[in-house]
Structure 1
Amino acid sequence: MFEVLFEHIDKKITLTKEEENKLTPFFIPKKYRKRQYVLQQGDICKYIAFVEKGMLRSFQVDDKGNEHVIQFAPEGWWIADNYSFLTGSPSSYDIDVLEDAEVLLITQTALEEMLQAIPVMERYMRILMQNSLISMQNRIACTLGSNAEERYQGVLKALPNIAQRVPQHMLASFLGITPETLSRVRRQLLKNS
């Protein structure tokens, strides 16, 4: 069950076979069914999840009951409420399963122990954090300065098969547009291609 994780790690750093063998006990493999919650708003995020198979998403529900999708996490992606995970504060987000999933969970204690036992993983985690910050900055800039079509094309570039894997209303929520606007954008792109 660790194949995707090792492929992901291998793109950033090199682990020896011994380090790979040391790494696996720090994670808890878990299977989730579609529509199950990994985290619910108000609970403390006790795990960071690495997606080996399937699709997860994090989202918030506002006072009017509208969902605001924060992140989609397909295979090879990490997902958590980092603020809750690091501070022990109640989560602001829900994380649920959009497709049956196999994930690897790691607690904060296990993460610290892993970084002590396998020092090169510290570099891997730093690279992940840097990439996460860059991604968040790009998402904010895109949301503020791009039109709906540019945002949609940007998401398709980052997640090429997302439109086939998630419902249109969730994708529209992630883009910060209405489902009707997304339909219009998709029709226009089809017409232009």
Structure 2
Amino acid sequence: MNLLLESIAKHVSLSTEEQERVLSLTESRQYNAKTIVLKEGETCTHSFFVTKGILRNYTIDENGMEHVVSFACPGWWIADMYSYLTQRPGHSFIEVNEEAEVLLLSKENQELLYAEVPKMERFFRILIENSLVANQQRLIDNMSFTAEARYDKFSKKYAGLIHSLPQKQIASYIGVTPEFFSKMKARLLKRH
């Protein structure tokens, strides 16, 4: 079965006709590694469902430092949610970490899905609720956990990807400098 349909089936049950309509409103794309599919200041007109590869969402501060907001691996969605939902210029970049295949869903087609396949509105509500919970938990973790504890949680969440991601991106995601991250990992290796 198609990975997108498998993902949807975890939350809602679609008829064959509804499945075909969902697929008809997505567009398949392939991207090479290092391709920036969304730049700061652009309006995010599509959300990306990853079927192969890894994408990441990040911002760059006034000092030129990158801050990784999220990663998306196969079976996950990614977008600049502020820009996608408001259809205003966004504040983040989305970059392909490694060669990727994605399904694009435009904001316009998502609205069509809501009208034509009402179960998809429930599906996306569940995804948004799960994302809200995960983002709130990450915020709490960043305020109250040590860097080591944040790394441990990251390692569990992204267990299948951790060896595919550059160390500096992992450091950015958990909120430490690459230098601190390197020293922390050395300490952790000595303990184990």
Task: Tell me the TM-score normalized by structure 2.
Answer: 0.95
Correspondence for 2:178: 179
The equivalent residue for 2:94 is 95
- How big is the alpha-carbon RMSD for the aligned residues of Structure 1 and Structure 2? 1.3
DSSP 3-state at the match of 2:67 = strand
> For residue 188 of structure 1, what is the aligned residue in structure 2?
187
Partner Cα separation in structure 1 for residue 66 and residue 41 of structure 2: 16
Unaligned runs of 5+ in 2: none
Per the alignment, residue 110 of structure 1 pairs with 109
Alignment of 1:61-80 (within 5 A): 61-80=60-79
Query: Which residue is equivalent to 2:23?
Result: 24
Indicate yes or no: 2:145 matched with 1:146: yes
Counterpart AA for 1:106: L
Report the Cα distance in structure 1 between the residues aligned to 2:44 and 2:154, rounded to whole angstroms.
26
Matches within 5 A, 1:116-131: 116-131=115-130
Query: Counterpart in 2 of 1:50?
Result: 49
| In structure 2, distance between residues paired with 1:64 and 1:143 | 21
How many residues of Structure 1 are paired with residues of Structure 2 in the alignment?
192
Counterpart CA distance in 2 for 1:125 and 1:146 is 30
Structure 1 alignment gaps of length 5 or more: none
> Quick one: percent identity of the two aligned structures?
39
Distance in 1, Cα, partners of 2:16 & 2:92: 37
Alpha-carbon distance in 2 for matches of 1:143, 1:114: 36
- Structure 1 position 44, deviation (Å): 0.7
Distance 2:32 2:143 in 1: 35
Equivalent position of 1:170 in the other structure? 169
* 2:84 paired residue number: 85
Offset of 1:23 from its aligned partner? 1.1
User: What's the TM-score, normalizing by structure 1?
Assistant: 0.95
